[in-house]
Every structure is written in C-alpha cells, then in structure tokens.
A and B are shown apart, each in its own frame.
Chain A
C-alpha cells in the first residue's frame, strides 16, 4: 500500500508542469533560424526591439490547439504595440501544421529536426517563452502553467509597457 502510494505520488509529481523551463529567465534567448510555412526564413535576433512570444506546439496536442485562437487575438491586439508571435510547430509533416494554421496571421515556423526544441529544452507542450525587447528570456510557461493563453497575458502586457 505504501509502495503504491509512493508510486502514485511520483507519477503525480512528474505529470505536473513547472513554471520555469530550461530556457531560464534572465538569460539571452538562444538564437535560431527556421523556415515558416509560407517559405520565408525567420531569425530570432532580427526581432530585437520587439517583445517576442515563442509558442511551441503540435497538432496532436489538444491544449496547444485550443491556444491558437487566443494567440491570434494577441497578435491582432498587440502587434502594433511591438509584439511578435512566432509559432514553432514540431509536427513531422507540414500538412499537419497547415491544417491548423489557417486563419493565423503570425508566422508558423517548422522545427522539423527539433533542434530549436532541444535548444529550449522542450519537455512538455505547449511551451511558451516571453522574450523582452533586449532579447532576454523573461518568462517561461509549460505544462499546466500554459493551459490558457490568458495565463501569461499580464506578463505580456508588462513587457510591452517597458
């Protein structure tokens, strides 16, 4: 009984999300370049001066899919204020991302080799990283902390005000 309880507790701990990923706050955001679904190449460092929201997602992740519309709203509301959203899709095939990306006006980048996912130590989906105008990681949300896009609205608005 005690062993079973111990196992349940261990599984419960492993399943909970953590507020901080390996892309720790306060460090320079690792730079990368990826190709978007529209064929254009995007390099993170070229967005210096803007607040950048990186959102790692996949078509098989239900929470990720439910956040996309919220991110689209953020883009429409805050793009003029200096927000750039970069969706980073990790599906194996382009068509999985294309099917869900319709209607999204921000770039959807394809991390087919998962190199950028490794760079940001992606462990749970969705993973959202907020980067300030100086290219510094300020907030990281993954797992249960990223269930809703509203979870990081306050932090996002604070960065935009800086």
Chain B
C-alpha cells in the first residue's frame, strides 16, 4: 500500500466505511429511542434525575458503540488479512543524533508495496517509542525478500539514503517484520536493520 501522495484508500476502505456507517446508524436509532422513552416520563421526573439517568445511558451507549467499532475493525482485519497469509511490516526508531527520518520505502519481491512520508509529529512519536505498521498484506507460503529504503538527513546534515533487506520464509501463520533505525555510537552512524518477530 503506497502512502506518499497516493492517498489512504486501501482496498478495505469501502468495507470500513460501511462498518462505520452501520455503527453510526445503530447509535442514532438507539439514541432516538432513549430520548422517546425519556420524554414519556412525567414532567416531575424530567428534571435532574431524568437528565442524569439519560446522560449515563448515553455514555454507556457510546462505550458500546466504541466497543462495537473495535470489534468490527478486528473482524475486518481477520477477514481481509487472515493469519495464514498475513504479512505485516513495522517501523520503529531508537535514534538520537545521527538520523532524521523523512520517508521509508518498502519493496517485497522487488515490487514497491509502501512509500510513507513521515511528518514531524510522526517522527516524534517514533522517537518516543511508537511503532508504525507501514504495510499489511497477504503473501503465499514460500521464500520472499523484503527491501527497505530509508531516506532522511544523516550526520552532518547531509541527505541520507540507506537500504536494508532480509529474506524470509513465509509459512503457516502470520509473519511480522520490523524495520528498526537506531544509533550506532561506535561508528557515529545510524544503523538500519530488518528483523523477524518470533
């Protein structure tokens, strides 16, 4: 999935929008029902007690909708990227002074699958320990090769572009790969590593 200027419209965009619309519809219908029930009460009960009770009900409903949204998201992931073919690639950073990340390009079996521009906020989040899922897809079983290119500003403020690659065996079960950028103080250079999660 390419991000740089191609927009975030993966194949599951339509499905996710459908699920969101369904969740919103359920929320709207139940909210209207609750309001109708509240209005059926006597005028005396419509004062503070009724209002507080309705707020609690709405909050509980919101939580249920959020839980539903989360469950739908997990279901969507399981349907679109079943564990037996799923491959996911993550980016993490542990750098201080040797590298300012600008973008990461990922190729699997010599085909570009991701090209992500990192903003200042996103880079900051990576510095703080965040991990970014840059790519998710399905691959058949067998040997594959992943190559990642990191572009940014290296030591002494110079433009920097480095690659790292690894061959991996895709078997039964999901495969997770991590692209790690870290300082190598001994060489005063950043280090780029691709590794598999066990």
Q: Which residues of A line the B interface, CB within 8 A?
A: 30-35, 40-43, 45-46, 111-113, 115-116, 119
Inter-chain contacts of B118 with A (CB < 8 A): 41
Q: How far is the CB of B10 from chain A (nearest CB, A)?
A: 11
Residues of B within 8 A of A (CB): 3-9, 102-103, 116-122
Which residues in B have their C-beta under 8 angstroms from that of A32? Answer: 5-8
Q: Is the CB of A40 within 8 A of B120?
A: yes
Instruction: List residues of chain B with CB within 8 A of the CB of A119.
Output: 6-7, 9
Contacts of B7 in A (CB 8 A): 30-32, 115-116, 119
Q: From the candidates B4, B103, B116, B119, name the one contacting A46 in the complex (CB within 8 A).
A: B119
A22–chain B nearest beta-carbon distance, Å? 13
A33 contact set on B, CB distance < 8 A: 3-5, 116-117, 119
B5 near A115: Cβ-Cβ < 8 Å: yes
Instruction: Name the CB-closest residue of A to B8.
Output: A31
| B117 interface neighbour in A43, A45, A111, Cβ under 8 Å | A43
Query: A41 → chain B, closest Cβ, in Å?
Result: 4
Task: Verify B119–A115 contact, CB threshold 8 A.
Answer: no
Which residue of chain A has the shortest Cβ distance to B4 in the bound complex? A33
Q: Can you show 9 pairs from A to B with CB atoms below 8 A apart?
A: A32-B5, A33-B3, A41-B117, A43-B117, A46-B119, A46-B121, A111-B5, A115-B5, A119-B7
B4 contacts across to A, CB distance below 8 A: 33-34, 113, 115
Enumerate chain A residues within 8 angstroms of B119, measured Cβ to Cβ: 33, 40-43, 46
Extra contacts, 18 of them, besides A32-B7, A115-B6, A116-B5 (Cβ < 8 A), are A30-B7, A30-B8, A31-B7, A32-B5, A33-B117, A34-B4, A34-B117, A35-B117, A41-B102, A41-B117, A41-B118, A41-B120, A43-B117, A45-B8, A113-B4, A113-B6, A115-B7, A116-B7
- A-side binding surface: helix, strand, loop or mixed? mixed
Give B181 Cβ to nearest chain A Cβ, in Å.
Answer: 16
Question: Closest 4 CB pairs between A and B?
Answer: A115-B5, A31-B8, A119-B7, A33-B117
Among A34, A40, A45, A46, the residue within 8 A (CB) of B5 is: A34
Residue among B4, B7, B103, B120 having the largest count of chain A Cβ atoms under 10 Å: B7
Contact partners of A113 in chain B: CB under 8 A: 4-6
Bound Cα distance A111, B7 (Å)? 12
Complex Cα distance, B6 from A31, in Å, reads: 9
Q: How far is the CA of A141 from the CA of B7 in the complex (A)?
A: 20
How long is the Cα–Cα vector from A46 to B119 in the complex, in angstroms?
9
Q: Provide the bound-state CA to CA distance between A13 and B122, in Å.
A: 46
Q: With A and B bound together, what is the CA distance between A137 and B118 in angstroms?
A: 24
Q: Which residues of B contact A40 (CB under 8 A)?
A: 119-120
Q: Considering the chains assembled together, what is the distance between the CA atoms of A58 and B42 in angstroms?
A: 65
Complex CA–CA separation, A42 to B116 (angstroms): 12
Closest chain A residue to B17 by CB distance? A28
CB distance from B4 to the nearest CB of A (A): 6
Contacts of B120 in A (CB 8 A): 40-41
Residues of B contacting A41 in the complex (Cβ-Cβ under 8 angstroms)? 102-103, 117-120
CA distance A5 to B121 in the complex (A): 57
Q: Which residues of chain B are within 8 angstroms of A46 by Cβ–Cβ distance?
A: 119, 121
- For the complex, what is the distance from the CA of A116 to the CA of B6, rounded to whole Å? 6
